[in-house]
Amino acid sequence: MKKIIYLLVFLISYAVFSQHRTIEITNIKTGKVKVFVENHRIKIRTLDGKKHIGNLKILDTLTFTVNDQTVKIDSLQSIKYQPKTLATVKTVVLIVGLAIVGASLVAASGGNDAAFLLFTVGSGVTISAGLFEGINANNSNNKWSFKIIER
């Protein structure tokens, strides 16, 4: 019983006092700080124009990986959270909107008067899928400074 209690205390203290590596970004003008933790899904763009979406894994104080692609912190242009559920909802809304627009084209070819109404609704739904992209702000290197720290 005593060994179990010691083991339990050890595991709890290990979890409490362990350090986690994160990407900390600081706003240049306001000093506001945001933190990107390991194993969260992110979307990044590098200075050479490549886009990577995947889970964040930090290797050391200068490099990290996203979707098995190694990236240096100096070559990071922008970073943002990209939750899987938001991407799924955005895709579903886009497909539904395009289906409604397609239905309006079929209705228009048949001479139905409701075709314009269907087209308007479908266009609005499709545009709202694009607005979902703006929910999570894109943090670019002209407003934010990036560094990898241990917390």
Residue-wise pLDDT for 89-143, tens only, equals 999 999 999 999 999 999 999 888 889 999 999 999 999 988 887 787 788 888 9
Tokens of 73: 């912190």
pLDDT above 70 for 13? no
The per-residue DSSP string of 126-150 comes to: HHHHHHGGGSSPPEETTTEEEEEEE
Q: Give 146 or 2, the one with higher predicted confidence.
A: 146
pLDDT at 10 over 70: no
What is the rounded average pLDDT for all residues in the chain?
88
**Residue 1 in this model has a pLDDT that exceeds 90:** no
**Amino acid 91: pLDDT:** 93
| pLDDT recorded at residue 34 | 92
Q: What is the pLDDT of residues 29-59, one digit of tens each?
A: 999 999 999 989 999 999 999 999 999 999 9
Q: Where are the domains of the chain?
A: 2-82+137-150, 85-132
Share of the chain above pLDDT 70, in %: 93
Q: State the Cα–Cα distance between residues 55 and 104, nearest whole angstrom.
A: 39
Per the structure block, which two tokens stand in for 150? 């241990």
Confidence of residue 14 (pLDDT cuts 50, 70, 90): low
Q: How far apart are CA 93 and CA 125, in angstroms?
A: 7
Rounded Cα distance, 87 and 83, in Å:
7
